[in-house]
Structure 1
Amino acid sequence: MTGKSLIEVKGASQLARTLRKAGADSKDLRNVNKKAAQVVVPAAQGRVPVRSGALQRSIRAGATQKAGVIRAGKKSVPYAAPIHWGWPGHHIKPNTFLTDAAKQTEPAWVDIYNEEIQKIINQVQGE
């Protein structure tokens, strides 16, 4: 049982294309996305159920040029998705710690996007 949660920033692809055409470095966009995603990690770690702590320690931020990503689980922690989304057949109720943390921290990561994208725009404009 797997699931994905997505909080989409509308226009992110168009912004990336526009900034690329204007001479912005694609690493700048990836860095902005990672910085915003990192805001969510501590909030998610505080919401996740803890037995051994392995799931909590597996929560991490990643990024591409187009998106910031918060991941939980890995090969040694394969139960992240069933804990997050639930698994009715095994009597596991959902605990949407990642999506709840993203919603809770939204004002902070939106501010980061606003500030950092403005910095990139200013660099492109030569300010």
Structure 2
Amino acid sequence: MSDEFEVVSGTGRVRVKGLRKTLRSMEQAGADAESMRDLMHSIGSIVVRSASPPRVSGALAGTMRAGRGKTKAVVRAGGARAPYGPVIHYGWPARGISAQPFLSDALNRNQANIFRELDTGIADILSHNRLT
């Protein structure tokens, strides 16, 4: 698994290298895991708040949630109450269902906010744990 990713928006490009390694080093140096989970949940919540799934009954919108991983932000939609969530998001060409990537669209619209939250959150964790 790569420890590098790139975000391209128009003519702008941001490449992030070593985030996983940085987070692991922070944890080993004493940054508490709960603070990291809170930060990742906060980042995922930015996407959840901005996402606009197609609304028929509203059930799918009610299943969107941000995870609490300590090294990555995860957003989910669907589940037992709306098992069709992934099909709506990714589509199903064999069944004539086109993709409606509401989570990916929300992620793309909020990249600046996400990077700002990540930067501020890591700085706060470092400061709180006297690692700066």
Corresponding position: 1:28 with 2:28? no
Q: CA deviation at 1:34?
A: 0.5
Cα separation, 1, equivalents of 2:21 and 2:81: 37
The TM-score, its normalising length taken from structure 1, stands at 0.85
Give deviations 1:65-104, integer Å, cap 9, x for gaps.
1111110001121101111111112211100101110110
The TM-score, its normalising length taken from structure 2, stands at 0.82
Which blocks of at least 5 consecutive residues in structure 1 are unaligned? Answer: 1-7
| Aligned counterpart in structure 1 of residue 46 of structure 2, from 17, 30, 39 | 39
When the two structures are aligned, how many residues end up with a matched partner? 118
Q: State the superposition RMSD in angstroms.
A: 1.6
Q: Give the partner amino acid of 1:34.
A: H
Q: CA deviation at 1:125?
A: 2.7
Partner of 1:58: 63
Which blocks of at least 5 consecutive residues in structure 2 are unaligned? Answer: 6-15
Q: CA deviation at 1:63?
A: 2.1
Corresponding position: 1:83 with 2:85? no
Q: Which runs of 4+ in 1 moved over 6 A?
A: none
Q: CA deviation at 1:43?
A: 1.2
Cα separation, 2, equivalents of 1:61 and 1:81: 15
* Structure with the larger helix share: 1
Structure with the greater relative contact order (CA < 8 A, sep ≥ 6): 1 or 2? 1
* Structure with the larger strand share: 2
